Structure formats: structure tokens, C-alpha cells
Amino acid sequence: MASLLHQAVEHAQAGRRDEARRLLQEYLQSSPDNEVAWLWLASVAADQAEYQRALREVLRVNPANQQARALLDQFQQQYGSRPPAPPVAMPAPETYAPPPPRPVSYEGLTTGAPGQDPYRQYAPPSPLPYSQYAPLGQPLTPSEVQRVQVEHVERKRRGLFGCGLPGCSGCLGCSGCWGSCLLALVVMIVVPVLLVAVLVLAVPQAQPVIDVAASFLPGETGRKTVVLSDGSHDVSLTVPRSWYVADADNDKWRFARDVLNETLKFDDEQRTWQDFESASPYFTLVEVNPVVLTGAYSNGKGAPILLTVNFAQPTGGDFSCSAVRAQQSQSTIYEYAGGLCGYRSDVTPSGTLGPIFRDITAPTQWTRITFVTPITGQEALQWTMELPADLLDHYRDDLQALIESVEIRKL
């Protein structure tokens, strides 16, 4: 059952709320006294009724859980006491027979063992306050699916945008002041969007400005499809919007390159972003998002992030799925059309690097990701990506989508 909880947590962390809820409910059928699981269920609850019931179950298991008690008190102060959601129907006993009572080890935490603190090594996220949920009995809208952990702080009156004026208790999370909140919305969202749109209309090659902003959006919204061609093959793949083919003939790449040359200089004064430019049949895709490059997602360590492929040097071998699974048992296997398979392997060499960007710390560890995508049953393209090891988690979903999306068509 620990593995079932583990799967549920992975789905919740990846934003797959419905699947996480289903697995958590299944897990709790046979482990109804697992405080951690109830807290996770509260964090992905479908509505207020399920949210309230999950918090009550936490307090049933552990009456001393102050986090659950505070959130439940907030809910009841706002809405009064509401009946909990009906329990999920128990599956057939022969399908989910409960295990014998014993402590269960889960990622270094033993739940159910006397004296063990269930938050010491594996704390679930804080369930959101009641105000973040849809009205009782109504399902969440798509815009509410993406949840974030929040720290509950006392809201103070603000002087910005008129909030804090007599009779107003503020905006941006406080009540009242609708006029000032609308003004805040216009200033912070509408005006920047209009300015960017004007910039792109006036300077069409400034598209990277929009792409960099869009790359922060979740899922497919933050990605785009790129097509590479060497005259013999067309290859399409899905990449983050802020990745560009380093092609000197591409005016959008030149715009991004020139901005980076001015704002993100290399420690070696002889080196520029033009050094990454390539020509068919060798292609290089470069991350141009300065927030990522300067280390915002890699503990302050910055470096170029590159994906390269050489169409002129395909890899030979047997790329039928049976052969790939037998020969690459230690690698991650990917299935493609026609019964063909590719694979991925990651290597993190030891050793450190000298400075790369001026005034920015270089990564202490690099990771080299190699993946192979089949062209035919006897040859494949080999792709190589190099990035700071601290960025692996940031690009995890993007890399999965990229490798699965590769399509190769012979001309």
C-alpha cells in the first residue's frame, strides 16, 4: 500500500489531481488511519465537502494536528458546520484485503510506529484554506485545478491602488475595494500585455519576448512545435516556447541572441551567443529565457542549456522494441510508430567547471542527457542535451513531452 500512496503523491505533485484523488481514496479504504494520506486528499479535494471531511479525518487520527484544526476552524467560521462528503464505497474485500497491522515504511518515514513524527521527513503540502475551493457541492473549474502551497499570513491593509482607504480593507486577496482591485488588474496584467503586443507588431522579430513569457505557462500552453529539415528528413518535436534553433538566418533567434549578448555576457570576453549557431544537417536548440539561464531554478547557478542533433551521423542498430528492451534494460524506453523504440540515458560526470557567465556562479555538476529516436528499424537519430544538474526537475515534464513527440519523416 505504501507504493499506492507513493503513486498518489507523484500524481498530486505533477498536478494530476483527479488521478491523485482516485489513488488516495483507494489507499484510504485499507489505511483509514493514515494522517499523511488524509492531508494529501485535502490538498486535492474536489469541493468544500470533501475538503472538510478530509480535515476532520486528520483530526480523528491525530487530534493534536494544529494545521488541520486551524483550517477547519476557518472553514466553519465562514460557512458554519457543513455535513462531510459521503464516504467512498468500499471495494470488494477480496480485491483490497487489508494488510496485517504493522508499521509501513514510506520514503524514510515509518507511519504508525509509536512516537514517530509523520512530518519529520515527508510532510504533505498544506491544504488550501476553504476560500480557495468552489461552493459546496460544485466541482472545481479548470482554472482552479492548478493548486499552489500557500503560507497563511495575516492580511494587512495596503496603500497601493487605493487599498487601505477609509472603508476599504484592501484588495489582492482582501475584501472590498473592487474599483482599486480592477485598477490593479489593469496595471499588472492588461498594460504589460498591450505593451508586448505593440512591441511585436512594431518589431516582428521580437516574438521571443512573448515566447519567454509563455514558457512559464503550464503544460502544452508553454510549449511549441519545431520542425528541423536537412533536405532528406523532416523532424518535428515539441519544446518549451523559449527554446530557439540557433540559426543565423532566423531573425527571431538573432533578436534573442543580441539581447542575450547585451544582458548575459560570458566570462570569456571572446565568447558570444553566436558561437552556438549551427547549420543543417547539424542543429542546436538554445534556451533563451534569462530567468532560467541565470539560475533562478538551479540554486543560483547559471549556464547555457543546449539540445543538439546531427542528421548526418545517424546511429545504427536494431531498433525494434524487443531488441531495444533487451539491449537497453538500464535505460528509459520510448515506443514510437511502426513497432520501433528509442531510449534515454542520463549521466552526471564528476568534477566542477570554471566561470561561464560573468558574475554568475557556474554549476558544480552537469548532466548530459542522451536519447535516441528511430528513423527506421536499422538507424536512429541521437540527441544530446547538457544542463546544470539542478535543472533536471525543472525540465522533467518538458523532456518527457519532447522525447515522446519526436516524429521523423523521410522526404
DSSP-assigned letters across all residues of 199-226: HHHHSGGGHHHHHHHHTTSSGGGGEEEE
Specify the CATH number for 2-138; select among 1.10.10.10, 3.10.129.10, 1.10.10.1100, 1.25.40.10: 1.25.40.10
Write the DSSP assignment of 357-377 as a string of letters.
Answer: BTTSBPPS-EEEEEEEEESSS
CA–CA dist 54, 208 (Å, integer): 45
H helices, E strands: number in the chain: 12, 13
What pLDDT is stored for residue 125 in this prediction? Answer: 52
Would you say 34 and 111 are in contact if contact means Cβ atoms under 8 Å apart? yes
Q: Which of 104-113, 205-214, 365-374, 389-398 is predicted with the least confidence, judged by mean pLDDT?
A: 104-113
The CA angle 174-76-166, to the nearest 5 degrees, is: 25
Instruction: Kindly state the average pLDDT of the residues 194-207.
Output: 56
Express as a percent the part of the chain with pLDDT over 70: 67
* pLDDT score, position 69: 87
pLDDT by residue (tens digit) across 293-319? 999 988 888 899 999 999 998 999 999
Question: What's the length of the chain?
Answer: 411
CA distance 370 to 50: 44
Q: What is the pLDDT of residue 355?
A: 75
Q: What is the DSSP string of 145-202?
A: SS-------------GGGTTSTT---SSSSSS-HHHHHHHHIIIIIHHHHHHHHHHHH
Average pLDDT, the chain: 74
How sure is the predictor about 207, in pLDDT bands with cuts at 50, 70 and 90? Answer: confident
Query: What's the average model confidence in pLDDT over 26-32?
Result: 89
pLDDT score for 315? 92
Is 111's pLDDT higher than 60?
A: no
Q: Nearest Cα to 87, choosing from 50, 58, 122?
A: 50
Other CB atoms closer than 10 Å to residue 292's CB: what's the count? 23
Position 402 scores a pLDDT of 94
Give the Cα separation of 308 and 298 in Å (integer). 21
Task: Report pLDDT for 326.
Answer: 92
pLDDT at 87 over 80: no
**In angstroms, rounded to a whole number, what is the distance separating the alpha carbons of residues 370 and 308?**
10
pLDDT at 323: 93
| Residue 357: pLDDT over 60 | yes
Determine how β-strand 282-287 pairs with β-strand 379-388.
unpaired
CA 12 vs CA 34, 173, 235, 404: distances in Å: 17, 25, 33, 22
> Please, what is the Cα angle at 379 between 373 and 381, to 5 degrees?
40
Task: Grade residue 183 by pLDDT with cuts at 50, 70 and 90.
Answer: low
**Would you say residue 386 has pLDDT above 80?**
yes
From 305, 294, 293, 288, select the one nearest 212 (Cα to Cα): 288
pLDDT at 79 (0 to 100): 67
Q: What is the pLDDT of residue 310?
A: 92
**Comparison of pLDDT for 47 and 396, the residue scoring more:** 396
Q: 210 near 216, Cβ under 8 Å?
A: no
Q: What is the mean pLDDT of residues 229-249?
A: 92
The 10s digit of each residue's pLDDT in 122-142 is 345 555 444 444 333 343 343
In angstroms, rounded to a whole number, what is the distance separating the alpha carbons of residues 7 and 168? Answer: 46
Q: Residue 244: pLDDT above 90?
A: yes
Q: Is 308 helix (H, G, I), strand (E, B) or coil?
A: strand
Helix axes 2-13, 17-30, angle to 10 degrees: 160
Question: How do residues 317-349 score in pLDDT, each as one tens digit?
Answer: 999 999 999 998 888 999 999 899 999 999 987
- Give domain limits for the chain: 2-138, 206-410
Whether omega before 281 lies within 30 degrees of 0, making that bond cis, reads yes
**pLDDT score of 275 more than 60:** yes
User: Regarding beta strands 243-245 and 282-287, do their DSSP bridges make them parallel or antiparallel, or are they unpaired?
Assistant: antiparallel
* CATH number for region 206-410: 2.60.120.1690
Q: Is the pLDDT of residue 163 over 60?
A: no
**pLDDT for res 252:** 86
Top-confidence residue, 160 or 365 = 365
